[in-house]
Structure 1
Amino acid sequence: MKKYIYPFSIILIVIIAYNFPSYFIEINGVKFSKFIIPILQVIMLGMGSTITEEDFMAIVKTPKLVLIGLVAQFMIMPLLGFGLTKLFDFPPEIAAGVVLIGCSPSGLASNVMAMLAKANLALSICITTMATLLAPILTPLLMKTLGGELIEIKFLSMVWDMTKIVILPVVLGVLANRFFPLLMAKIKNILPYFSMVGIGFIIIIVTASGQKSLETVGGLLLLAVFIHNVGGYLLGYFSAKMLKLKEKDARAIALEVGMQNGGLASALANEMGKLATVGLASAIFGPMMNISGSLLASWWGNKKTED
């Protein structure tokens, strides 16, 4: 039951933010959205500090599995998101947000769920690491291709945004862990809690900022995000099974595909100046994937794998 406290707490606070948005947008003229990028940079620095030489060696040892996971990650979710925008006919900026969350890489939450699901944790970590490092090129490219007709996508600007949000903090985290291991060992004990609070903070800001848009498309957007999330699990899992992968590997890929880095998508929407519209899908996706991922991981965790 404890694993559900966080997502349900976020949902409760999101409901409050939706009903009283003015309290979560700014205070004394200081907009809370200004803190989104720094918060995410600290979270990505924390991710970088967990990357080890063993992780890269695991990638070298299992390149086929990692490649399958990456192809699934950057094909299934972007195309599924694009298809959903055609099905639901959202306003352009709302639709762009659905595509954006689909074009984003997986996040650390998928690694936690992989462990609980008795999936191949090493594979999950490898895919998350590589997806994160490739995202500064692939996410803008996919957004330009699939979302360019919805909103203006400045490719080079988005590449730079992702570089400063993702690559620089991750590299700094890797270097800090290499040269200051004792200090980072202490900091790493705090970072998971900071990440949880930080992501929650971002989701609340986006909800409050986009309250008026949610009044118009909230129900349909909730349904679209649900289909996107669960569809990612299903397509990721059965794609892996069609390729004759082991059960543990299929579970890892399913979780990597279905769970996205909502915080990163929100940060990119904020950099576009469209947090209240483009950022909405990612704000809904975050809590939803934590709940669905926890349920799926619990179900799989109670089932024996055949391999």
Structure 2
Amino acid sequence: MLLQLFPLWAVLLSLLAYFVPGAFTSMSGAIIPLLTVIMLAMGLTLTTRDFANVAKSRKAMAVGVVLQFLIMPAAAWTVATLFGFGPELMIGTLLVGSVAGGTSSNVMCYLAKGDTALSISMTAASTIIGVFLTPVLASFFAGQSIDVPVQPMLMTLLQVVLVPVAIGVALNEFASKWICKIEGLFPYVSMFAILLIIAIVVALNAGKIATVGLIVAFAVILHNAIGLALGYGITALLGFDRKICRTIAFEVGLQNSGLATALALKFFTPTAALPGTLFSVWHNISGSLLAGYWSRKPIADDAK
């Protein structure tokens, strides 16, 4: 129940941070460590078998990952341009579009009766690939107008994503009996960490949310909708069964926005972190609503 109410906790904590920003602004230096904890928790839920599953669903995996790193960055640039975003909000939106899929996609996929094994494998694969692609994509779509520090960002991603995930997978492999006893805590640890990141960013942007918050929220909703719709629609047109279509829709539409937020704060400004913060809240709401709808709709009905 606590996990299912994540959007509610996010909204309540965001309101607290907005009205009492001083309680959170001093914790801005904790964002990278918090994200490292999230990625370690993710790694602890993965095994080498999850990566081995890539070979069993090569076509679906390939299409899903290509769509992940094609649709979302392009949609981010399109949406940011459409809404006339300046450099700060532009790069923040591009970072949301350029990161890997979020771990919440695995839960949503399970609830929606998708292919959970494929979802986990895609999240794992896109997380590793994103370490190298995220800074390159953000730089490519930002063009000459925004200086994106590709090499420093790559090093940060290696340290904050690749290393914690690898440690988590290794611990899960060699100490699985011990990990199994506490694995139920990992989602709560991740939820607490992302909620705190959201609160910190809201606090840092308390003065600007009143003027740009609503327009950024609309952009985030549109960006997320494009990812979900095209993730499902393109895979359906390619002839995949509807179970896989549902899975890839979540993998494409739900981003690791916590990572985008952390990168925006480290390399740019608090304002650049606003799109990632709002995306973190919204994609859990939209994902939950879509998962609830699909959970009541038989797979065969999707084709009607």
Q: TM-score range by the shorter chain?
A: over 0.9
Specify the alignment match of 1:122 in structure 2.
117
Alignment of 1:42-121 (within 5 A): 42-121=37-116
Deviations 1:223-272 (A, max 9, x none): 00000011110011101111011000000000011100011111111221
Specify the alignment match of 1:183 in structure 2.
178
Scaled by the length of structure 2, the TM-score of the pair is 0.95
Q: Pick closer, same or farther for the CA change 1:21–1:240 going to 2, 3 Å.
A: same
Tell me the amino acid that sits aligned with residue 25 of structure 1.
Answer: T
Cα deviation for residue 146 of structure 1 reads 0.6
Specify the alignment match of 2:201 in structure 1.
206
CA RMSD for the aligned pairs? 1.5
Alignment of 1:2-81 (within 5 A): 4-26=4-26, 32-81=27-76
Alignment of 1:168-247 (within 5 A): 168-247=163-242
Structure 2: 5+ residue runs without aligned partners? none
Cα deviation for residue 182 of structure 1 reads 2.9
Establish whether residue 290 from structure 1 lines up as the match of residue 284 from structure 2. yes
Q: Pick closer, same or farther for the CA change 1:103–1:302 going to 2, 3 Å.
A: same
Contact 2:41 2:189 in 1 (8 A): no
Specify the alignment match of 1:280 in structure 2.
274
Contact 2:14 2:199 in 1 (8 A): yes
1:303 is paired with a residue of what secondary structure? Answer: coil
Give the counterpart of 2:147 among 139, 144, 152: 152
Segments of 4+ moved more than 3 angstroms? 1-4
Rounded to whole Å, the distance in 2 between the matches of 1:56 and 1:191 is 20
Contact 2:3 2:191 in 1 (8 A): no
Tell me the amino acid that sits aligned with residue 54 of structure 1.
Answer: R
Contact 1:3 1:294 in 2 (8 A): no
Contact 1:95 1:150 in 2 (8 A): no
Cα deviation for residue 176 of structure 1 reads 1.3
Cα deviation for residue 17 of structure 1 reads 1.2
Rounded to whole Å, the distance in 1 between the matches of 2:80 and 2:166 is 35
Rounded to whole Å, the distance in 1 between the matches of 2:152 and 2:143 is 14
Deviations 1:102-124 (A, max 9, x none): 11111110000000000111111
Tell me the amino acid that sits aligned with residue 84 of structure 1.
Answer: V
Cα deviation for residue 199 of structure 1 reads 0.4
Cα deviation for residue 3 of structure 1 reads 6.0
Specify the alignment match of 1:165 in structure 2.
160
Cα deviation for residue 6 of structure 1 reads 1.8
Rounded to whole Å, the distance in 2 between the matches of 1:148 and 1:70 is 23
Q: Pick closer, same or farther for the CA change 1:242–1:148 going to 2, 3 Å.
A: same
Structure 1: 5+ residue runs without aligned partners? 27-31
2:300 is paired with a residue of what secondary structure? Answer: coil
Q: Could you tell which deviates more after superposition, 236-245 or 207-216?
A: 207-216
- Counting matched residue pairs gives 301
Q: Pick closer, same or farther for the CA change 1:56–1:4 going to 2, 3 Å.
A: closer
Cα deviation for residue 292 of structure 1 reads 0.6
Percent identity reads 40
Contact 2:261 2:276 in 1 (8 A): yes
Q: Could you tell which deviates more after superposition, 102-111 or 143-152?
A: 143-152
Alignment of 1:138-149 (within 5 A): 138-149=133-144
Contact 1:55 1:122 in 2 (8 A): yes
2:272 is paired with a residue of what secondary structure? Answer: coil
Rounded to whole Å, the distance in 1 between the matches of 2:200 and 2:41 is 22
Give the counterpart of 1:267 among 257, 262, 269: 262
Q: Could you tell which deviates more after superposition, 48-57 or 108-117?
A: 48-57
Contact 1:93 1:150 in 2 (8 A): no
Rounded to whole Å, the distance in 1 between the matches of 2:127 and 2:48 is 16
Contact 1:111 1:121 in 2 (8 A): yes
